[in-house]
């Protein structure tokens, strides 16, 4: 496992007849990776949502990115599909005058008949897969217009990648007239668990700016295992470490 990523981060279906006329995998910007259109495999996002394992997780205290990494890995190993990871980054306006504030949230998404759908089981009031805009709107509770959130691209938005890696925030103003808003989102391959991992892969530097030789092009089981431990134990790994290890040894 690449340890700095985790440290800095401290977040059988029923057969159905499915129309496949619009089924098409969707590539991820800057990566040789495409998110599988599950309709080609006779699956629906609702089926995957309904069969997502989450009852054992500490949904309140576990890092969101660790929950998402486990769900992504489960989709890959159980159904033979390539899911995506999505991050939403919050500007200051989203949490203005709120008791709690968060830097980002992570989710797992798939494609169904050409439409990207997020599989989010962190909340009891979310009962179905959500479009990316609806997922972001749910996260921000309507405080800003989710349809205006700006997608971060690898080749054109390195400044934003560096901002969230080195400064821990994203600006609502950018130089040279580049688009900016109160929220941003980034789509990456499902095997990438954290925003920090994304930055390390794309900048070739660690958080201190030192050059690193780091590659990742598939799920790293050690990273998935660490994600599983946190998903089980939340912020109580010292007390729940033994049962968490026993569970994850069996689960994975």
- With cut-offs at 50, 70 and 90, classify the pLDDT of residue 91: confident
d(CA 23, CA 221): 30
Q: What are the extents of the domains in the chain?
A: 16-251
**CA 54 distance to own-chain centroid:** 16
DSSP string for 1-65: --HHHHHHH---PPP-----TT---EEPTTSS-EE-BGGGGT--HHHHHHT---TTS-TTTS-HH
Q: Give the tokens for residue 31.
A: 């990566």
237-251 helix and 221-233 helix, angle to the nearest 10 degrees: 130
Q: What confidence tens digit (pLDDT) does each residue in 101-136 have? A: 788 999 999 999 999 999 999 999 999 999 999 999
- With cut-offs at 50, 70 and 90, classify the pLDDT of residue 212: very high
The length of the chain in residues reads 252
Contact 83, 38 (CB under 8 A): no
- With cut-offs at 50, 70 and 90, classify the pLDDT of residue 167: confident
Residue 246 has pLDDT above 90, yes or no: yes
Residue 242 has pLDDT above 60, yes or no: yes
Q: Give the tokens for residue 19.
A: 């129309």
Question: What pLDDT, on a 0 to 100 scale, did the predictor assign at position 21?
Answer: 55
Q: Give the tokens for residue 58.
A: 């500490």
Who has greater pLDDT, 23 or 39? Answer: 39
Provide the strand spans (E) within the chain.
26-27, 34-35, 84-90, 104-112, 115-119, 130-131, 150-151, 183-189
């Amino acid at each position: 496992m690449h340890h700095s990523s985790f440290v800095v981060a401290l977040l059988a279906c029923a057969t159905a007849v499915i129309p496949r006329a619009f089924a098409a995998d969707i590539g991820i910007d800057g990566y040789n990776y495409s998110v599988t259109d599950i309709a080609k495999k006779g699956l629906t996002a609702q089926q995957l949502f309904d069969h997502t394992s989450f009852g054992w997780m500490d949904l309140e205290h576990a890092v969101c990115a660790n929950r998402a990494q486990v769900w992504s890995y489960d989709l890959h190993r159980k159904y033979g599909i390539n899911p995506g990871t999505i991050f939403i980054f919050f500007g200051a306006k989203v949490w203005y005058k709120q008791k709690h504030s968060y830097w980002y949230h992570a989710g797992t998404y798939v494609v169904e008949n050409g439409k990207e759908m997020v599989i989010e089981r962190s909340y009891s009031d979310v009962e179905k897969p959500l479009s990316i805009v609806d997922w972001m709107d749910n996260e921000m509770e309507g405080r800003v217009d989710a349809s205006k959130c700006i997608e971060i691209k690898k080749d054109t938005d390195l400044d934003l990648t560096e901002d969230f890696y080195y400064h821990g925030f994203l600006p609502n103003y950018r130089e040279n007239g580049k688009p900016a808003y109160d929220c941003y989102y980034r789509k990456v391959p499902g095997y990438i668990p954290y925003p920090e991992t994304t930055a390390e892969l794309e900048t070739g530097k660690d958080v201190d700016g030192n050059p690193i030789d780091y590659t990742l092009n598939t799920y790293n089981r050690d990273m998935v295992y660490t994600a599983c431990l946190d998903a089980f134990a939340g912020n109580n790994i010292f007390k729940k470490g033994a049962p968490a290890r026993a569970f994850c040894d069996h689960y994975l």
